[in-house]
Structure 1
Amino acid sequence: MAEIKTKANEVSVDDFLEAVEHPQRRADGKAVRAMMERVTGEPATMWGPTIIGFGSYHYRYASGHEGDMCRVGFSPRKAELVLYVGGFPEYEAMLARLGTHKRSKACLYIKKLADVDADVLAEITRRSFETTIDQCNAC
């Protein structure tokens, strides 16, 4: 089995954010970091080379695959911010109030923070973090 590359490490979150080339993405990344630290009460930690995560949990699949991952996180990618949130019952309704975004099963994509409602994004983050804690406690 291949080694999991997305794990917590000692890379500086400040250095990573300062190295983001796109000035808007860098500023938005700093703002999302501050919001996620405030909402989760957890410090920002690098997970793998590009994900800034908050908190951690252990998962185990029926296949036997297991590992650790951040409870919520984000990455200031070249094209957009990618947020690793979701997984709670009211998620769809909250996305309808969020503003301009795209999504996949596990990710929320935002071009710039000015396009979304900051309060809704903070609530999505809070609910995602709490839901992950609840799922962890059920393991």
Structure 2
Amino acid sequence: MEDIAEFIAQVTPAKRKRDAETLLALMAEVTGEKPILTGSIIGFGTYHYRYASGREGDAPATGFAPRKPATTIYLMDGVDAHAEELAHFGPHTSGVGCLYVKDLDVCDTAALRRVIARSYRTLTAGVFGQRASESGE
């Protein structure tokens, strides 16, 4: 945890650092997992995936990365799986498996908590074996 605290202490701008501290506590509480720092990603829990090609591996079940332009929140079961909840979440953009948030203070963190909990449960139930980019197939 010391490495994570040191990592977050160096995050800029200040808004991203504040959001990282919020997400660290929120994801730890929701998942019951200890955070793991891999590069610039803080992950919680793991799930096993397998591509149609046969390639497989393990990835964090949820996590985030505080980047200068926005904080990336990883929803590896796909953002579309949470479209209804995210419609009321607040200002964000998204990719296939990522939310990009510039200011968590103007977002509904209760909605985010529900999304992360649902995504985490889906990924760790042992039945979700693909990546977000394949979940629509």
Mark yes or no: TM-score above 0.5: yes
Provide the rounded CA distance (Å) in 1 between the counterparts of 2:76 and 2:50: 19
The secondary structure found in structure 2 opposite 1:70 is strand
Extract unaligned runs of 5+ from structure 1: 1-9
* Residues 1-139 of structure 1: pairs in structure 2 closer than 5 A: 12-47=3-38, 49-85=39-75, 87=77, 91-134=82-125, 136-137=126-127
Does the Cα contact within 8 Å between 2:49 and 2:128 map onto a contact in 1? Answer: no
Equivalent pair of 2:122/2:128 in contact (CA under 8 Å): no
Q: Distance in 1 between matches of 2:109 and 2:128?
A: 30
Tell me the TM-score normalized by structure 1. Answer: 0.84
Deviations 1:14-41 (A, max 9, x none): 1111111211111110111100000010
Letter in 2 for 1:39: V
| Unpaired runs of at least 5, structure 2 | 130-137
The amino acid across from 1:82 in the alignment is: T
**Corresponding residue SS for 2:64:** strand
TM-score, normalised via structure 2 length: 0.85
Cα contact 2:92–2:99 (8 A) shared by 1: yes
Change beyond 3 A, Cα 1:117–1:124:
same
Change (3 A) 1:138 1:128: closer
